[in-house]
Amino acid sequence: MTARTQTGARAGTQANALAAGQDAIALLTADHREVKDMFEQFDELGDRAKASKEKLKEKICKALIAHTTIEEEIFYPAMRAKGEDAEDMVDEAVVEHASAKDLIKQLQEMQPDDDLYDAKVKVLGEQIDHHVQEEEKEMFPKAKKSGLDLMALGQEMALRKQELMSTL
């Protein structure tokens, strides 16, 4: 057992209750929907809604950092073990994450009045949308067929996500 898993396991019964019942695909798909909703909300905000934009941008960045981290730490390595095809898919996903993380980092240091603020949120949303399509149409179906213990992976990711959300 890794140090990370031990810490996760200590996160407590509350987290266990939270983790109960959601498999890896359900958890990741729910995250995808949540972040898509937030991007849509952002898009609907007017130019003068600076405080709301900033709040939402922070929430989006935090959710995406937690999501990409649990995928990279837990889900992707499990997928990688499922053959060359899966490995190529994961490689592509990791490159897409890196590009998203770069934009996230820039956005975290920006304010709504800065040049390109709206454009960067928009492009990040588009990149995530593309990435999510590939995960949901290619990687998740493959994961379902692969014989992975999706329930156990879901629990592990739920615990890790909770831990990350409390520190981000």
Contact residues: Fe ion, CB under 5 A: 28, 71, 135
Question: In 3-state terms, what secondary structure has residue 106?
Answer: helix
Q: How far is the CB of 87 from Fe ion (least distance, A)?
A: 15
Whole-angstrom CA distances from 32 to 3, 6, 71, 75 are: 28, 27, 12, 15
Q: How far is the CB of 35 from Fe ion (least distance, A)?
A: 9
Q: Of 28 and 104, which CB lies nearer to Fe ion in the complex structure?
A: 28
The C-alpha atoms of residue 162 and residue 146 are separated, in whole angstroms, by 27
Q: Of 23 and 135, which CB lies nearer to Fe ion in the complex structure?
A: 135
Q: How far is the CB of 66 from Fe ion (least distance, A)?
A: 11
Q: Of 66 and 117, which CB lies nearer to Fe ion in the complex structure?
A: 66
Q: Of 98 and 116, which CB lies nearer to Fe ion in the complex structure?
A: 98
Q: How far is the CB of 46 from Fe ion (least distance, A)?
A: 30
Measured CA angle at 98 (ends 94, 101), to 5 deg: 130
The C-alpha atoms of residue 23 and residue 154 are separated, in whole angstroms, by 4
